[in-house]
Amino acid sequence: MHVADVEYFHGDLRLVGQIAVDDELEGERPAVLVSHDARGLSDHPKNVARKLAQLGYVAFALDYYGNGEELDPEQVGPRFTELSSDPLLARSIGNAGFEVLVGNEFADPAKVATIGYCFGGTLVLEMARGGTDVVATVGFHSGLSTSRPNDAKGIKGKVLVNIGADDPIVPPDQRLAFEEEMRKGGVDWQMHLHGGAVHSFTDPAADGSNPAIKYDRRADERSWKAMLDLFAEVF
Pick the closest to residue 146 from 112, 185, 115 (CA basis).
185
Residue 209, SS3? strand
pLDDT in tens, the chain (235 residues): 999 999 999 999 999 999 999 989 999 999 999 999 999 999 999 999 999 999 999 999 999 999 999 988 888 899 899 999 999 999 999 999 999 999 999 999 999 999 999 999 999 999 999 999 999 999 999 999 999 999 999 999 999 999 999 999 999 999 999 999 999 999 999 999 999 999 999 999 898 889 999 999 999 999 999 999 999 999 9
Q: What pLDDT does 19 receive?
A: 98
Q: Which amino acid is at 117?
A: Y
How many CB atoms within 10 Å of residue 205? Answer: 11
The β-bridge relationship of strands 136-140 and 107-117 is parallel
Residue 220 CA to residue 235 CA, distance in Å, equals 22
Q: Which are the contacts of 54, defined by CB distance < 8 A and separation ≥ 6?
A: 1, 22
Q: What is the DSSP string of 106-129?
A: TEEEEEEEEEEETHHHHHHHHHHH
pLDDT in tens, 56-102: 999 999 999 999 999 888 888 998 999 999 999 999 999 999 999 99
Whether 52 contacts 132, CB under 8 Å: no
Q: Bridge partners of 58?
A: 31
Nearest one of 157, 162, 158 to 175, comparing CA atoms: 162
Can you give the pLDDT at residue 85?
95
Between β-strands 136-140 and 158-164, what pairing exists: parallel, antiparallel or unpaired?
parallel
* Domains, the chain, ordered by start: 2-234 (3.40.50.1820)
pLDDT number for residue 180: 98
In the prediction, which pLDDT does 232 show? Answer: 98
Q: Cβ atoms within 10 A of the Cβ of 22, count?
A: 16
215-222 contacts, C-beta under 8 A, 24 or more apart: 216/164, 218/194, 219/162, 219/164, 219/194, 222/192, 222/194
Tell me the whole-structure pTM to 2 decimals: 0.97
Overall residue count recorded for the chain in this entry: 235
Contact 38, 119 (CB under 8 A): yes
3-state secondary structure 155-204: CCCEEEEEEECCCCCCCHHHHHHHHHHHHHHCCCEEEEEECCCCECCCCC
Helix, strand, coil shares, percent, the chain, to 5? 40, 30, 35
Q: What is the pLDDT of residue 207?
A: 86
The amino acid sitting at 198 is V
